[in-house]
Structure 1
Amino acid sequence: NSTRTVSKAEPISAEKRREIRNAQAAQRRLRYRQKLKNEKETLQQQEIQLSQELTKLQQARVDEKNDQVDRMTLSVWKAIAIRQKERRVGAETQQRQLRAAVVARARFIHQMNALLQRPDSQVESCGDRSDSGEQHAGSALLRTFVGELDELYVQTDQIMEEVDFKVTYPLVYKPTRTCTQGVEIYDSADATVVPFDFEQTCRAMSVLMMTDPTQKKTRELKNTVTVKYQVKSQLKPGENFKLMVHVAVRRYREPDRMVFVWRGLNEGLGALSGYHTDETGWLVLRPHLTSTLLESYVRFVPVSVGEAGASNEGPDRFAEVVIKTGENEVSELMAMLENMLIGEAK
C-alpha cells in the first residue's frame, strides 16, 4: 500500500503532459473542423435557397415584362382594329347616306316631272329630303381611350420611378427607338423647371392641355377631354405630310402635384396612309422651391396595316413625321405656357 501511495504522488512527466495537451488540441481541432463543416453545409443550403429565390424573382420579372409587352401590343392592335372598324362603319354609313340621297333625288325628279305635267293651279311645293343622321367619327376609339386613362393614372408613380428624366430648358421632346421582346418602341423622358408658382403653372397648363384646339369658343375646363384633329408636318421644304390625331386626356389633381395622362392614335394620311402610332403619355407637375417641376414621359408604338405596303414612304419616315410633329407641338406648348405665365405675372 505504501508503495502505491508513493507512485500516485509521483509527478506526471513532461512528455506525458505534452501528450495530454496534444490530445486535447487534437480534440479542439476536430471540433473546430466539424463546426466549420456544419457552417459550410448551412451556407451551401442557404446559397441553394437564395439561388432558387433569385431565379424565381428573375423569372417573375421576365414574365412581368413579357406581360407588359403583350398588353402593350394588344392595346396597339385593339386601337387599330377599332379605328379600322370605324372607317368601315363610316364608309357603310356614307354609302347608306348616298343611297338615300340618290333615292330622294330620284323621288324629287319624279315629283318635278309629275308637277310639270300638271296645270299651274295644281303645282305644289316639294323639297329634297335626305337622311341627316351622322355619327361622330372616332367616338368608339376615343371612348376606348377614355376607359384606359384611370389605369394609366394608377401607373404614374411606377413610371416616374423607373424612367431616367433628362432635364432641359425649356422642355423638349426627343424620342429614341428601342426594341423590347420584338416590339419596336419610341419613348422620351424629359423634365424642366418652370420659374413660376406651382398653382399658377397648374392653371396655365390646364388651359393648354384641357382645351380642344378645334373649338373656337372658350368653355369651362373639364377633367377629361377628347379631341380629333388634322395636323400638317414638314420634314424639309417641299416635303409635307398630314396626320389625323385622335387623343383622350384626363387631369388628376392631388395636394402636392397635378397629373395629366393621355392615350392617342396618330393616323397617317395621303402618302402615309396605313401607318399608325399608338401613344401613351404622362405629364406631372410638382412644386419645386418657388418654381414648378415638369416631368413628361411619352411612348409610342408604330404599326403598319393594310395599304401601308403600297405606300412609297417607309415606316421610318412615318416615325420621323410623328416625332417632328411632337417636337413642334411641345415647342408650341412651352412657348404658349411661358407667354401665359408672363402675361399673368404682369
Structure 2
Amino acid sequence: MDAEFLEEVAEFLDSFDLPAFPTAFLEAENSLVGAEGPSASSGAAIATTFASDGAAPIGRKKTKTKQLKAKRNTTPSDRELHKAKDRKRRNEYRERQKIERESLQRQVGDLSAELEQVQKIKENEEKEADDLMLPILAWKTIAKRQLEGRLASETQQRKLQSAVRARAALIEDLSGLVLKRLSEGDLIVSRGLGESSFGQKRIRLEPADTAIFEAYLQGLNTIYAQTEEAFRAYGMDAMLDDATVNTKQAWQHDGKTGCFQFVSKQLMPFSFKQTCQSLRHVAVMQHRQTDRELYYDVEDPETTMALKYRITSRQTSGRVMSVVLRVVARRFEERDRVVTIWRSFTEGEGVFTGMHSDETGWCVAKPSPTSSAENTLLEMCIRNVPMHFRSTATLEPAVEQFTDLVLNSGTEDSAEITGMLEKLLLASA
C-alpha cells in the first residue's frame, strides 16, 4: 500500500512542466547528488557551468526541487531497503505496544485481586465489629446500671446517716423522766415522725430500663440477618422435618465462658396462614403478668414489642427468689415465612444480685416442605449466655440456682406459648 502511494505521488509530481536547464548544469547536479555530500570543487564546477553558458542561478528553491526529483529516481533496491526499515520500525512499535498492553492487563488483574481481598477483609471486620458490639452494649448497660445504683445507694446512705444523727440528737435532749412516761411509739406520734422519716422509697431506675431497651432494639436487625447462620451453626438442617416435636439442648463451651443452646423443630397440623395469625397473639406473653410494664417508645408497635416483668420462685426451704427480665422482640414477614427475633436481659435480685444472662432467640414459621397436607413447620433456636460479676464466682450454689431458674422459665415460656397456640388454632379451625 505504501509503495503504490509513493509511486502515485511521483507520477503526480512528474506531470508538472519543469523549466529547462543547461545540459552542463544537469550533469553537474547529477554528479553532486551521486556524491556523499556537497564539496567546494562541485560548487565551483556548478558556478563555472553557469558562467560558460551565460545562464543566471535559479535559486535555492529550484535546487531542492531537483534534489527531490533525484531522490524519486532511486533504484528499486533502495526503495525496498527503505520499506524494510519502515516495516522494522512498525514491528518494533507494535511489539512495544503489545508488551505495554500485556503489562497493563497484568496490573489490572493484580489490582482487581487486591481490591477483592481488601473488600473481603473489610466485610469480615464489619461482621466482627457487629458481633462484638452486642455483648459490649450489654456490659456497658450493666456498668451504667451499677453506677446509677451505687450513686443512689450513696445518696440513700447519706440521708439515713442524717436521720440517725437527728434521732440521736433528739434522744440526747430528752430526759430520763420523759423516756419512762412515754413509749417510743407515743414519742414518735407526738413528734410527728413516721416510718417514712427513717427510710426511703424504692428508687425506680427508669432511665436504665430505657437504655437497655434502646440498645437491644438497635441490634434486632443485625440478629435477623444472622438467622440462616445461626440455624446452620446449631444444626437445624440435620433435624427431621416430619417429626411432631424434635428438640435438643446442650452447653457450648467457648474458651473460659460458654452458652446454653436450645434447638426445636415442631410440625403443626395447621395451615401457614392460621399459624402466623395465632403467633401474633401468643407472642405478647400474656402469661407473664407479675410487675409487668410495657415500653411504648418503639418505631413500629405492630411488629415490635418491649416489656419488663418479674419471675419469682419459691424454694423447698420456703425462701423466695426472683429475677427481672427485659425483653424486646420484632416480627419480620417474608413471602414464604415469618421470622420472630427476640433478645432478653435477665437480672438477678436478692441473693442473685450481680448475676445476669443475655438471651437471643430466633423462631421461623414456614409451610412444611415434606408434608402433603397444609402443615406448618416451626423452627426455634435459643442462645443463653450467663454474665456474672467476679464477686459471684465463689457463690456456686446461688449461681446454679440462678441458672436453673432462668432455664426453667424459658422452658415454661415455650410450653405455655405452644399450648396457647394449639388452643387458638383448634378454636379457629
For the aligned pair, the TM-score class normalised by the smaller chain equals: 0.5 to 0.7
1:262 equivalent in structure 2: 342
Task: State the AA in 1 paired with 2:228.
Answer: D
Query: Cα 1:324–1:80, aligned 2, differ >3 Å: closer, same or farther?
Result: same
1:75 equivalent in structure 2: 134
Query: Cα 1:251–1:327, aligned 2, differ >3 Å: closer, same or farther?
Result: same
Does residue 1:228 correspond to 2:308, yes or no?
A: yes
Does residue 1:84 correspond to 2:143, yes or no?
A: yes
Deviation at 1:256, TM superposition (A): 0.4
Any idea what SS the aligned residue of 2:276 has? helix
Where relative contact order (Cα < 8 A, 6+ residues apart) is larger, the structure is 1
1:319 equivalent in structure 2: 403
1:305 equivalent in structure 2: 389
Work out which of the residue numbers 277, 291, 294 in structure 1 matches 2:357.
277
1:190 equivalent in structure 2: 264
1:253 equivalent in structure 2: 333
Does residue 1:339 correspond to 2:386, yes or no?
A: no
Deviation at 1:157, TM superposition (A): 2.1
2:228 equivalent in structure 1: 157
Task: State the AA in 2 paired with 1:179.
Answer: H
Superposed CA RMSD in Å reads: 4.1
Identity %: 24
* Residues 248 and 262, structure 1, Cα contact 8 Å, conserved in 2: yes
1:148 equivalent in structure 2: 219
Counterparts of 1:12-161 in structure 2, within 5 Å, are 75-89=134-148, 92=151, 136=206, 137-161=208-232
Once the two structures are superposed, what CA deviation does each residue of 1:170-195 show, in whole Å capped at 9, x if it has no partner? 576x5311212433111111110111
* Residues 188 and 297, structure 1, Cα contact 8 Å, conserved in 2: yes
Does residue 1:330 correspond to 2:414, yes or no?
A: yes
* Residues 82 and 140, structure 1, Cα contact 8 Å, conserved in 2: yes
Task: State the AA in 2 paired with 1:76.
Answer: P
Query: Cα 1:199–1:221, aligned 2, differ >3 Å: closer, same or farther?
Result: farther
Any idea what SS the aligned residue of 1:175 has? strand
Query: TM-score when scaled to structure 1?
Result: 0.61
Any idea what SS the aligned residue of 1:138 has? helix
Deviation at 1:339, TM superposition (A): 1.2
Query: Following the alignment from structure 2 to structure 1, what is the Cα–Cα distance between the partners of residues 315 and 377?
Result: 31
Structure 1: tracts of 5 or more residues without a match: 1-59, 103-132
Structure 2: tracts of 5 or more residues without a match: 1-119, 163-202
Once the two structures are superposed, what CA deviation does each residue of 1:253-293 show, in whole Å capped at 9, x if it has no partner? 01100001111111122222211111111000001140110
Any idea what SS the aligned residue of 1:329 has? helix
Deviation at 1:244, TM superposition (A): 0.9
Query: Following the alignment from structure 1 to structure 2, what is the Cα–Cα distance between the partners of residues 85 and 75?
Result: 16
1:7 equivalent in structure 2: none
Query: Cα 1:221–1:276, aligned 2, differ >3 Å: closer, same or farther?
Result: same
Deviation at 1:208, TM superposition (A): 1.5
Query: Following the alignment from structure 1 to structure 2, what is the Cα–Cα distance between the partners of residues 239 and 94?
Result: 25
Deviation at 1:314, TM superposition (A): 4.4
Aligned residues: 257
Query: Following the alignment from structure 2 to structure 1, what is the Cα–Cα distance between the partners of residues 153 and 244?
Result: 48
Deviation at 1:211, TM superposition (A): 5.6
Query: Following the alignment from structure 2 to structure 1, what is the Cα–Cα distance between the partners of residues 324 and 158?
Result: 27
Query: Following the alignment from structure 2 to structure 1, what is the Cα–Cα distance between the partners of residues 224 and 407?
Result: 24
Any idea what SS the aligned residue of 2:307 has? strand
* Residues 251 and 258, structure 2, Cα contact 8 Å, conserved in 1: yes
Any idea what SS the aligned residue of 2:219 has? helix
Query: Following the alignment from structure 2 to structure 1, what is the Cα–Cα distance between the partners of residues 282 and 424?
Result: 10
Any idea what SS the aligned residue of 1:250 has? strand
Task: State the AA in 1 paired with 2:402.
Answer: F
Query: Cα 1:300–1:229, aligned 2, differ >3 Å: closer, same or farther?
Result: same
Any idea what SS the aligned residue of 1:247 has? strand
Task: State the AA in 2 paired with 1:280.
Answer: T
1:199 equivalent in structure 2: 273
Query: Following the alignment from structure 2 to structure 1, what is the Cα–Cα distance between the partners of residues 424 and 158?
Result: 50
Deviation at 1:332, TM superposition (A): 0.9
Query: Cα 1:73–1:178, aligned 2, differ >3 Å: closer, same or farther?
Result: farther
Query: Following the alignment from structure 2 to structure 1, what is the Cα–Cα distance between the partners of residues 352 and 205?
Result: 25
* Residues 285 and 292, structure 1, Cα contact 8 Å, conserved in 2: yes
Does residue 1:179 correspond to 2:250, yes or no?
A: no
Deviation at 1:234, TM superposition (A): 5.7
Deviation at 1:338, TM superposition (A): 1.1
Query: Following the alignment from structure 1 to structure 2, what is the Cα–Cα distance between the partners of residues 141 and 153?
Result: 19
